[in-house]
Amino acid sequence: MSTHVLPSPGKAPAPRKDRRVGGGLLDPEQMIRSLPDALAKLNPVTMWRNPVMFTVEIGAVFTTALAIADPSWFAWAIVVWLWLTVIFANLAEAVAEGRGKAQAATLRAAKRDTTARRLRSRDDRTRWDLIGASELQQGDHVIVEAGETVPGDGDVIDGIASVDESAITGESAPVIRESGGDRSAVTGGTKVLSDQIIVRITQKPGESFVDRMIALVEGANRQKTPNEIALNILLAALTIIFLVATATMQPLAIFSKAVNPGVPDSLALTDDGVTGIVLVSLVVCLIPTTIGALLSAIGIAGMDRLVQRNVLAMSGRAVEAAGDVSTLLLDKTGTITLGNRQASEFVPVNGITERELAEAAQLSSLADETPEGRSIVVHAKQAYGLRERRPGELAHAAWVPFTAQTRMSGVDLDGREIRKGAATAVMKWVRDTGGHPTDEVGHLVDGISASGGTPLVVAEKGRVLGVVHLKDVVKEGMRERFDEMRRMGIRTIMITGDNPLTAKAIADEAGVDDFLAEATPEDKLALIRKEQKGGRLVAMTGDGTNDAPALAQSDVGVAMNTGTSAAKEAGNMVDLDSNPTKLIEIVQIGKQMLITRGALTTFSIANDIAKYFAIIPAMFAAVHPGLDALNIMRLAGPQSAILAAVIFNALVIIALIPLALRGVRYRPSSASKLLSRNLYVYGLGGIVVPFIGIKLIDLLIQFLPGMS
């Protein structure tokens, strides 16, 4: 498995307190900009895909015809607000899409028409043809130099270069791309800043990463996700029920009017039953328009929220699956621990003080640029206040750099020879220089190894000074995050190439639920299959080519953008920041999307209660005065009551667009607690809010002409 060093900063990003994307959500300008799109969506050919709003549109057409045939202030007011209801729904979708379109425009800029230098033979850098990037085929080899734009997606097969990927990732710091490792993938549209590389193109023409990104964020091929389809079916069923309930009311209404011959005709009820205008109003108020209007916006916004966190989901299905994940596989290195082991303790032997040991260790590590070496210098400084000296400060020092052969580094200074390195190498050096390491050192070294750490021995010519304890440092806040996961019912499994002993020590410290030690790619794949067999959904991150099978097998596979093309191809999401910890956020976004749907469905249905209390007395109090008791809002009159309900129904869509776009507030907690909270807010709120809203609207509109 891969254990490369991530280019991202070593510290885990602090968990965001507020996971909402703030600002500009109810930006009127954005609404106005989306208005033409919203109007274009009135086309029945597109409308019918949304059965709820299509029903409203048919109702709007029908009432328009009725109002033309028999005009009244009341009729026209209803007609206008019914059309507004449909337009508001379309606006929600258009605004959600608009946010993606802005993103797509930025991406298109990266996809400038570039040219490519295609090599005639991959071994000969001198002979190439200049062709348009769009003409490149899979398997072509191109040469790219500093200052040039990479013409297409591919793998570096020769050379190393620093690349500016800001056009894709938004991250301005350049990254290193080199042949033969897990950092070989380059993306079309990125810019080479230094050196020269040869790239083998892996994309088909027109199917580059950027092309796919543009299609994704624009929602061009957006397909309904399984849960969205299921919810749509339920909403369609509710629509049918309410259509039947309203249509079959008519003979009952005619009968009721006929047995009360003294009651005069009104705008709501005549001898022919409830008027068409009122009947349509009732249907529109009852069918779940709120969720029907916002459903697709919720899905688009869910993808969009991922994009804003620099994650590209290749399908909405994957985002939804993220909410269902019950097992999270996390690589130890770079995800749970900082990329490298760090010095945590100096253990002196032979009567040396800790401070002396620290000083010697620091001196011997000054010229050691490996992260382990740096950590010794830093730890000596932090724990003992030893100033870090620049190698240049010590004029007479002879530096001994670390090599794979000697497995030691050190310094010869003022007659002292200090070495630091792997236990066996340093002990051998001590014996060679005439010393006799005591058993104490051996015990120390074994003890540190057993606890999962790495021992480095520090020695002076002829004698051992002590041992430096290097250990994996778990990133800050990881334990809290894993506790959070546990509360959400998600099991975390740490994957590491370490031996079981080391793995267990780190697993315990980080607070993960389980670990897989000495993991090979096959082990990883087997683990995923085992979890899936038990009915669990598995999420993982990966970057190396050998991660590809596991990424493909997992339900949510997040490939790091720094990884190989094979890994990116196999996963169903790509994290442009290459931050493996983001998997946790992805899961939360998936959950948030589902919760938003459920909450707005509940809200939508709960709203109906108040609307009935407005409309039923408005229709029938004339024939059955007793029913006026249901007019608990004391609305001014039948017309204003019905219109107020219709207006509320339309306005609530606009009012909830921001909620649909940013998602309902989500705090990781148990299912029961989440449900209680959401029921309280959206269920109870859904019952109460319309009573207040309809009353307020009625207070305003009762003075309009035609309302009394």
Partner 1 sequence: MPPTLAGILFIASLLLALALCHKPLGDYMYRVYTGAKHNAVERVIYRLVGVQPDGEQRWGVYARSVLAFSLISILFLYALQRLQNHLYLSLGMQPVEPALAWNTAVSFVTNTNWQAYSGESTMGHLVQTAGLAVQNFVSAAVGMAVAITVVRGFARTKTDMLGNFWVDLVRGTIRILLPISFVAALVLTAGGAIQTFADHSTWTTLAGGHQTFTPGAVASQEAIKDLGTNGGGIFNVNSAHPFENPTSWTNWLEIFLLLVIAFSLPRTFGRMVGDHRQGYAIVAVMGSIAVISIGLTNWAELSAGGTVPQAIGAALEGREARFGTSNSAMFASATTLTSTGSVDSFHDSYTALGGGMLIFNMLLGEVAPGGAGAGLYGILILAVITVFVAGLMVGRTPEYLGKKIGAREIKLASLYFLITPTLVLLGTAAAMATEAGRSAMLNSGPHGLSELLYAYTSASNNNGSAFAGVSVNTTFHNTTLGLCMAFGRFVPIVPALALAGSLARQAPVPASAGTLPTHRPQFVGMVVGVTIILVALTFLPALALGPLAEGIH
659-688 residues near partner 1, rule: CB under 8 A? 666, 670-672, 674-676, 678-679, 682-683
Using rule CB under 8 A, residue 708 touches partner 1: no
Q: Cα(653)–Cα(661) distance, rounded to whole angstroms?
A: 12
Dihedral of CA 59/61/63/65: which sign?
negative
The active-site residue out of 140, 182, 331, 368 is: 331
Which of 126, 172, 248, 405 is the binder for partner 1 (CB under 8 A)? 248
Cross-strand pairs, 399: 411
Helix, coil or strand: residue 446: helix
Using rule CB under 8 A, residue 572 touches partner 1: no
Dihedral of CA 384/387/392/394: which sign?
negative
Chain residues 622-651 in contact with partner 1, contact rule CB under 8 A: 623-624, 626-627, 629-630
Nearer to partner 1 by Cβ, of 253 and 465: the residue is 253
Nearer to partner 1 by Cβ, of 246 and 553: the residue is 246
Query: Which helix (H) or strand (E) element contains residue 419?
Result: strand 416-422
The pair of three-digit structure tokens given for residue 656, joined into one six-digit string: 């909830």
Nearer to partner 1 by Cβ, of 81 and 666: the residue is 666
Min CB(197)–partner 1 separation in Å = 44
555 in active site? no
Min CB(601)–partner 1 separation in Å = 5
Min CB(50)–partner 1 separation in Å = 16
Which of 598, 638, 690, 693 is the binder for partner 1 (CB under 8 A)? 598
Nearer to partner 1 by Cβ, of 253 and 343: the residue is 253
Chain residues 287-326 in contact with partner 1, contact rule CB under 8 A: 320, 323-324, 326
Using rule CB under 8 A, residue 536 touches partner 1: yes
Min CB(290)–partner 1 separation in Å = 14
Min CB(249)–partner 1 separation in Å = 4
Min CB(198)–partner 1 separation in Å = 46
x-or-dash string of contact with partner 1, 106-145, rule CB under 8 A:
----------------------------------------
Using rule CB under 8 A, residue 229 touches partner 1: yes
Which of 160, 616, 651, 655 is the binder for partner 1 (CB under 8 A)? 616
For the chain, helix (H) and strand (E) counts, in that order, are 24, 24
x-or-dash string of contact with partner 1, 469-508, rule CB under 8 A:
-----------------xxxxxx-----------------
Q: Cα(80)–Cα(64) distance, rounded to whole angstroms?
A: 9
Spatial CA neighbour of 349 closest among 447, 429, 438: 438
The pair of three-digit structure tokens given for residue 218, joined into one six-digit string: 């624009």
Which of 68, 241, 501, 700 is the binder for partner 1 (CB under 8 A)? 241
Spatial CA neighbour of 273 closest among 251, 301, 295: 251
- DSSP states of 527-539 as a string? HHHHHHHTT--EE
Min CB(46)–partner 1 separation in Å = 21
- DSSP states of 25-40 as a string? TT-HHHHHHHHHHHHH
Min CB(630)–partner 1 separation in Å = 8
Using rule CB under 8 A, residue 259 touches partner 1: yes
| DSSP for residue 149 | B
The pair of three-digit structure tokens given for residue 286, joined into one six-digit string: 């009852």
Q: With b meaning 16 or more CB within 10 Å and e meaning fewer, what string describes 550-582?
A: bbbbbbbbbbbbbbbbbbbbbbbbbbbbbbbbb
- DSSP states of 215-272 as a string? HHHHTTT----HHHHHHHHHHHHHHHHHHHHHHTHHHHHHHHHHT-TTSPP-SSEETT
Nearer to partner 1 by Cβ, of 122 and 479: the residue is 479
**Number of chain residues interacting with partner 1 (CB under 8 A):** 75
CA 546 remoteness from chain centre? 24
Which of 40, 65, 102, 247 is the binder for partner 1 (CB under 8 A)? 247
CB 622, CB 266: distance < 8 Å: yes
Query: Which helix (H) or strand (E) element contains residue 214?
Result: helix 209-218
Cross-strand pairs, 514: 493
CB 495, CB 506: distance < 8 Å: no
Using rule CB under 8 A, residue 237 touches partner 1: yes
The Cα diameter of the chain in Å comes to 123
Using rule CB under 8 A, residue 256 touches partner 1: yes
Nearer to partner 1 by Cβ, of 138 and 669: the residue is 669
Using rule CB under 8 A, residue 275 touches partner 1: no
Nearer to partner 1 by Cβ, of 246 and 275: the residue is 246
Using rule CB under 8 A, residue 262 touches partner 1: no
Min CB(212)–partner 1 separation in Å = 26
Using rule CB under 8 A, residue 223 touches partner 1: no
Using rule CB under 8 A, residue 74 touches partner 1: no
Q: Which residues have a catalytic role annotated?
A: 331
